[in-house]
Amino acid sequence: MKKTESLAELRAMSLEEKKAKAIVLNQELMKLRFRKASGQLEQLNLLRETKLKIAQVKTLIGEEKASKAVA
């Protein structure tokens, strides 16, 4: 996950790219949770940042679906 990725860059992605990004972020979150459980994760803020990115991507996916349903 690129830390400097902005909301504008996420908005510029297509719906399929956003869905793929959500899958990648969920996989990354799972890996971080395993690392935390085994005591190998020192940067606990990565969990929060990854959850935030997932929420942003899911929100944008929902917005795009809603705008297509209205149009």
Domains, the chain, in order of start with CATH, read 13-70 (1.10.287)
| Confidence at residue 39, expressed as pLDDT on a 0 to 100 scale | 95
Average pLDDT over residues 20-25: 97
Contacts of 14 (CB under 8 A, 6+ apart): none
Task: Say if residue 5's pLDDT is above 80.
Answer: no
Nearest to 36 by CA among 45, 24, 27: 45
Backbone angles phi, psi at 4, to 5 degrees: -90, 5
Q: Phi and psi at residue 42, in whole multiples of 5°?
A: -100, -30
pTM of the entire predicted model: 0.86
Supply the pLDDT for residue 2: 54
Per the prediction, the chain carries an average pLDDT of: 91
pLDDT interval class at 1 (50, 70, 90): very low
Give the pLDDT confidence score for residue 47 in this predicted structure.
Answer: 97
CB 22 within 8 A of CB 61: yes
